[in-house]
Amino acid sequence: MVRRVKELAATGSRAIIWSWLIPLLLAAGCATAPHGILSPPRQFVFERDTFAFANELEKVHYYDTNGDWVGYWVKPRPPYTLHCFVVTRSALQFFEHARFEPELAKTDDETYRKLIRKVVDTDPRNVLPDNEKIVIPGYADLRSFSKEKEQLLKDECGGAWQSYVQRGHWRMILPFSRRQERHVADRLLDELTHKQPAVVHLVRFPALSINHAVLIFGARKTANGIEFKTYDPNKPDAPITIHYRPGEGLFTMATNDYFPGGRVDLYQVYHGVFY
């Protein structure tokens, strides 16, 4: 995803982007609109509310014996890459807007295709009441559904281009203050208390050592701050942890095969008028 963003930034489209981005920034600033969450009746559970497949990496990184952060391109190129925003948004939409009914008979792929489209066409900023949720027959949860219908979900949840046109991307070019990150941490705690997971954008701009979307679904206060339990679409086997350190007013994440570790700037998306 980082490589593609840099390629896009190097093209002649930069002037076009700034021609509409600058007026939007001047008009919007950092304001967001209240969104009135209707709490889902249950807690997000990693083992059932996440996809069984991964957003695959084009390039794998690691620290070499000299302590340098190096990487190599995966060959052949994996077929499902650069979908981090699509996967996290879709997981949120299935949690908010779908109801799995394992006691109902399984149906054909064309029916499932239409149901998936109905789910991903919903607004992730709102929650449907139970009597309006989209029923997915024959499966107990998203995890089992995505194990059996992996390609169907990959085809219908959205293309990689949607990771580049999410309307909140303008926010990453502005500074991230300690006060702003404290506000984000407090809001996430409040929403998680009401069982509402949140998609967040992790970024370091302009270096773009990370440019990624994850879904935070749990939180635990510790002596050193807050541990946010997180669904990383690159890591479908187990949750990861994002740490918030209030004394420093920043979020951190451990080293993995796409991020060298350390500070991440973080803001919530799919929750307001400008995000």
Q: Are 113 and 144 in contact (CB under 8 A)?
A: no
Select from 160, 188, 221 the last residue of a domain: 160
Pair 140, 204 in one domain: no
Residue 56 lies in a domain: yes
Pair 123, 173 in one domain: no
Q: Which residue has the tokens 């690691």?
A: 62
Residue 4 lies in a domain: no
Pair 202, 156 in one domain: no
In the chain, what percentage of residues exceed pLDDT 90?
60
What is the mean predicted confidence (pLDDT) over 51-69? 95
Pair 192, 235 in one domain: yes
Pair 142, 183 in one domain: no
Pair 190, 255 in one domain: yes
What is the mean predicted confidence (pLDDT) over 153-181? 75
Q: Which of 72, 125, 94 is nearest to 272 (CA)?
A: 125
Residue 274 lies in a domain: no
Query: Lowest-confidence range among 66-70, 177-181, 260-264?
Result: 177-181
Pair 64, 118 in one domain: yes
Select from 142, 160, 178 the last residue of a domain: 160
Pair 133, 192 in one domain: no
Length of the chain: 275
Pair 92, 131 in one domain: yes
Q: What is the pLDDT of residue 145?
A: 98
Q: What is the pLDDT of residue 169?
A: 60
Of the two residues 102 and 184, the one the predictor is more confident about is 102
Number of domains in the chain: 2
User: What is the span of the domain harbouring residue 228?
Assistant: 165-269
Pair 173, 140 in one domain: no
Query: Lowest-confidence range among 112-126, 148-162, 203-217?
Result: 203-217
Going by pLDDT thresholds of 50, 70 and 90, the confidence category of residue 3 is very low
Pair 120, 220 in one domain: no
Select from 111, 133, 160 the last residue of a domain: 160
Q: Which residue has the tokens 């990689």?
A: 160
Residue 275 lies in a domain: no
Residue 97 lies in a domain: yes
SS3 state of residue 121: coil
Residue 231 lies in a domain: yes
- Checking phi first, is residue 3 left (phi over 0); if not, alpha (psi -120 to 50) or beta? alpha
Q: How far apart are the C-alpha atoms of 1 and 13, rounded to whole Å?
A: 18
Pair 136, 177 in one domain: no
Residue 51 lies in a domain: yes
Q: Which of 54, 61, 41, 52 is nearest to 83 (CA)?
A: 54
What is the mean predicted confidence (pLDDT) over 175-204? 87
Say if residue 12's pLDDT is above 80: no
Q: Which residue has the tokens 């919903």?
A: 122
How many helices (H) and strands (E) would you count in the chain?
A: 8, 10
Q: Which residue has the tokens 């064309």?
A: 110
